[in-house]
């Protein structure tokens, strides 16, 4: 599904991603954990080509996205992304937020997109907010709408960039539940998170990153119960 080969990323002189290699199978849920500034967010933004890698290759469904040129727009349609700060479109209603991309990209007719939006909003238990503007919603509601907006494009993979970090504590649960349901439905997911309990419960595999490198990766149980690298041990001892 996703294959990252020798990915490097520099910001000027700063080496933020160092020789990253990852392979993610269809239906797999991978949690990316690690201290702030370790390059987790940059990595998943590279996978969506929102950040341009300095060197290395990224394959989505076998296609090298760096060489895709104009087709990057098509590839992105298959990759959903959920952001820390939601990034809903404030000048559009909830319905318009969800239907905008499927209609503009020609994926669905307006009617089809609206039906899809209603179906997703029902699932998120937010159908009553269909005509609201984002500013009138709580953080948890905003993030669930943002997830619905991504799912409306029927992506093959979902990327979550610290989707619960900007939420009030009492709203974290509702968003994590949506993510967990999604994982159980078989969605391929890469989740950058600070929620260790979630990573442990939901992820098939956990990758620990520090200083732009993958330090350790293993099944969730193994990585949390039996970390090998001293850097992983140190990190886990602080956050668990």
Partner 1 sequence: MGILNLLIDYKYYYLTGIKITIALSFFSLIIGTTLGALLSLLRLSKFKIPKAVATAYIEVIRGTPMMVQIALVYFGSYVLMGVDMNTFLAALIAVSLNSAAYVAEIIRSGIQSVDKGQWEASKSLGLTNVQTMRYIILPQAVKNILPALGNEFVTLIKETSVASTIGVLDLMHASKIVQSNSYKAFEPLVIVAAIYFILTFTLSKLVGILERRLSYHD
- Burial track 136-168 (b if 16+ CB lie within 10 A, e otherwise): ebebbbbbbbbbbbbbbbebbbbbbbbbbeebe
Q: Do 4 and 56 contact (CB within 8 A), yes or no? A: yes
Site string for partner 1, 204-233 (x = CB under 8 A): ------------------------------
> Distance between CA atoms of 41 and 108, rounded to whole angstroms?
30
Name residue, tokens 């702030």.
36
The CB-of-83 to partner 1 minimum distance in angstroms stands at 6
Segment interacting with partner 1 (CB under 8 A) among 115-123, 134-142, 207-215, 232-240? 134-142
Name residue, tokens 């319905």.
95
Strands 188-192 vs 205-210: parallel, antiparallel or unpaired: unpaired
74 binds partner 1 (CB under 8 A): yes
162 binds partner 1 (CB under 8 A): no
77 binds partner 1 (CB under 8 A): yes
Interface residue with partner 1 among 153, 171, 182, 202 (CB under 8 A) is 153
Q: Which is nearer to partner 1, 153 or 172 (CB)?
A: 153
| CA distances in angstroms from 59 to 32, 63, 131, 159, listed in the order given | 18, 5, 38, 15
The CB-of-239 to partner 1 minimum distance in angstroms stands at 26
Segment interacting with partner 1 (CB under 8 A) among 12-20, 86-94, 108-116, 118-126? 86-94
The number of angstroms, rounded, from the C-alpha of 213 to the middle of its chain's C-alpha atoms is 19
User: Containing H/E element for 22?
Assistant: strand 14-24
Site string for partner 1, 105-124 (x = CB under 8 A): x-------------------
The CB-of-81 to partner 1 minimum distance in angstroms stands at 4
Strand partners, 96: none
Q: Which is nearer to partner 1, 45 or 231 (CB)?
A: 45
Q: Which residues bind partner 1 (CB under 8 A)?
A: 45, 48, 50, 73-74, 76-77, 79-81, 83, 85, 87-91, 100-101, 104-105, 133-136, 146, 149-150, 153
């Amino acid at each position: 599904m996703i294959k990252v080969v020798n990915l490097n990323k520099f910001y000027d002189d700063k080496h933020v991603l160092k020789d990253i290699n990852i392979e993610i199978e269809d239906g797999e849920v991978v949690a990316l954990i690690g201290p702030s500034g370790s390059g987790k967010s940059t990595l998943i933004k590279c996978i969506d080509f929102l950040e341009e890698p300095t060197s290395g290759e990224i394959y989505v469904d076998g296609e090298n996205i760096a060489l895709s040129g104009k087709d990057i727009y098509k590839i992105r349609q298959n990759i959903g992304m959920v952001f820390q700060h939601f990034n809903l479109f404030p000048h559009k209603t909830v319905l318009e937020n969800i239907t905008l991309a499927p209609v503009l990209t020609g994926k669905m007719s307006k009617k089809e997109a609206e039906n899809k939006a209603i179906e997703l909003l029902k699932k998120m238990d937010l159908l009553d907010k269909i005509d609201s503007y984002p500013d009138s919603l709580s953080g948890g509601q905003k993030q669930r709408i943002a997830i619905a907006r991504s799912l409306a494009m029927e992506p093959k993979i979902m990327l979550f960039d610290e989707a619960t970090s900007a939420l009030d504590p009492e709203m974290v649960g509702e968003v994590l539940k949506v993510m967990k349901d999604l994982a159980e439905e078989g969605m391929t997911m890469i989740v950058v998170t600070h929620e260790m309990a979630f990573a442990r419960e939901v992820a098939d595999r956990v990758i620990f990153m520090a200083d732009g490198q993958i330090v350790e990766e293993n099944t969730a149980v193994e990585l949390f119960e039996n970390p090998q690298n001293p850097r992983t041990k140190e990190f886990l001892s602080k956050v668990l």
